[in-house]
């Protein structure tokens, strides 16, 4: 008979004063799942009644010995973070040294930090507590603007409901996007959540649509079938000057479609991969510098697309994916330049008079460069157009 697959052991460590919702999120996400890949254990430092903030006490029968068999340990937050005992710190440190994945929800980050597990790492916690975490544990790089931080073997989430985002992220890592999406439906939660914290999770869980999105999915499935991964994704749409298109066409093509493809492709891009967004100086510097009137819809759309991709950078960094913006002058031989030349020949002539225009080959050579001359954020390459850079 075949040997049954071993379930991934998850231990939720509930300490006195644990927040009811913080505790319930991992228990429900990992434990209440028929046929799921996880086995759930709840433990505490001293077995017995454990006070809960905002709810009756929990009666927990397992102590710290339960951590010894865990593949993943989740520490929910406490209403008032207090340093854990030496026994708790030692048990967590021992588990981490053994290779156990360590996870905190909300102020549970304080417990991991006290055990020394966040030293030299990025981490987050509830936004009301980020300053305190940075003050109490200066060896931790606290990021207050994200829903969660994935440092590989150590993961931390922001406050309360952000724990759902982190649990779904972990399920996506362990069991794949389809399982994470199914679990999100069971939890009645968004598979991917965006917001003011600029935290974007990979996008293959976008709801099914017809038309272009289905074609994108089919294309990426073919890439996966042929090559298994996608090392570099180059986004180089530039439309909106065609005759007869509706007023929103340039924004849909140069922003919406580019960002959608980037999100869909994230699961195929390995650590060390790159997303390259190709834009023009006219769009990159819009609205700070003048733009030919006929090119304005394109410039506005591409600038919006660049802004949206830059907002994804915190998540890309956690995945080890670089975002490179390649901004070039008008490129000889490009379709957009040809269309602009028909409509406004003086605009193209003025650029040619200022300096020779780069060619498609020249832009390609610059994109191959591993150590480009960059702007202030370290990830923008400029090609041609000296006047724009002065």
Task: Catalogue the active-site residues.
Answer: 106
Provide the β-strand partners of residue 280: 328
Q: What is the pLDDT of residue 346?
A: 73
Distance of CA 287 to the CA centre of its chain: 28
Q: What is the pLDDT of residue 390?
A: 62
Q: What is the pLDDT of residue 191?
A: 66
Q: What is the pLDDT of residue 326?
A: 86
Provide the β-strand partners of residue 154: 102
List every span in the chain annotated with CATH 3.40.50.720.
212-389
Q: How many CB atoms lie within 10 A of CB 85?
A: 14
**Residue 84 has what DSSP assignment?**
P
| Class of the domain covering 8-187 | alpha beta
List every span in the chain annotated with CATH 3.40.50.880.
8-187
The helix (run of H) or strand (run of E) holding residue 310 is helix 296-311
| pLDDT, one tens digit for every residue, the chain (390 residues) | 444 457 899 999 999 999 999 999 999 999 988 888 999 999 999 999 999 987 889 999 999 999 999 999 999 999 888 899 999 999 999 999 999 999 999 999 999 999 999 999 999 999 889 889 999 999 999 888 788 988 888 999 998 789 999 999 898 888 887 888 888 888 888 766 654 333 333 333 333 333 455 677 788 888 888 898 999 999 987 777 666 777 778 888 888 888 888 888 888 898 999 999 988 888 888 888 877 777 788 888 888 888 888 888 888 888 889 999 988 776 655 555 665 666 667 766 776 666 666 555 454 444 444 334 444 445 788 876 666 666
Helix (H, G, I), strand (E, B) or coil at 244: coil
Q: What is the pLDDT of residue 126?
A: 92
Which residues, at least 6 apart from 190, have a Cβ–Cβ distance to it below 8 Å? 184
Which residues, at least 6 apart from 3, have a Cβ–Cβ distance to it below 8 Å? none
The helix (run of H) or strand (run of E) holding residue 113 is helix 108-114
The yes/no answer on whether domain 212-389 falls in CATH 3.90.226.10 is no
Exposed, middle or buried by CB within 10 Å (0-12, 13-18, 19+), for 194?
A: middle
Helix (H, G, I), strand (E, B) or coil at 185: helix
């Amino acid at each position: 008979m075949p040997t049954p697959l071993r379930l991934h052991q998850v231990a939720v460590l509930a300490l006195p004063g644990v927040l009811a919702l913080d505790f319930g999120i991992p228990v429900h996400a990992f434990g209440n799942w028929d046929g799921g890949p996880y086995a759930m254990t709840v433990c505490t430092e001293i077995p017995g009644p454990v006070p809960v903030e905002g709810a009756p006490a929990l009666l927990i029968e397992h102590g710290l010995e339960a951590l010894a068999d865990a593949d993943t340990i989740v520490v929910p937050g406490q209403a008032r973070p207090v340093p854990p005992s030496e026994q708790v710190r030692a048990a967590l440190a021992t588990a981490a040294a053994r290779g156990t994945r360590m996870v905190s929800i909300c102020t549970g980050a304080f417990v991991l930090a006290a055990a020394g597990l966040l030293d030299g790492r990025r981490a987050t916690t509830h936004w009301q507590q980020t300053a305190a975490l940075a003050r109490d544990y200066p060896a931790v790089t606290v990021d207050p603007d994200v829903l969660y931080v994935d440092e590989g073997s150590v993961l931390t989430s922001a406050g309360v409901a952000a724990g759902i985002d982190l649990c779904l992220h972990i399920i996506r890592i362990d069991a794949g996007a389809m399982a994470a999406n199914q679990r999100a439906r069971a939890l009645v939660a968004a598979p991917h959540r965006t917001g003011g914290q600029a935290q974007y999770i990979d996008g293959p869980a976008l709801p099914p649509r017809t038309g272009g999105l289905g074609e994108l999915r089919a294309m990426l499935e073919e890439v996966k079938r042929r090559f298994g991964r996608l090392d570099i994704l180059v986004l180089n749409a530039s439309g909106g000057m065609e005759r007869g298109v509706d007023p929103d066409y340039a924004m849909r093509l140069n922003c919406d479609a580019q960002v959608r493809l980037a999100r869909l492709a994230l699961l195929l891009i390995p650590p060390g991969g790159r997303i390259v967004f190709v834009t023009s100086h006219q769009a990159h510097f819009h609205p700070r510098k003048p733009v030919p009137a006929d090119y304005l819809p394109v410039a506005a759309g591409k600038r919006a697309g660049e802004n949206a991709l830059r907002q994804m950078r915190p998540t890309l960094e956690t995945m080890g994916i670089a975002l490179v913006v390649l901004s070039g002058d008008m490129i000889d031989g490009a379709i957009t330049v040809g269309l602009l030349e028909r409509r406004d020949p003086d605009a193209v002539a003025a650029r040619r008079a200022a300096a020779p225009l780069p060619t498609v080959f020249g832009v390609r050579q610059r994109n191959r460069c591993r150590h480009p001359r960059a702007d202030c954020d370290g990830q923008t390459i400029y090609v041609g157009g000296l006047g724009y850079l002065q």
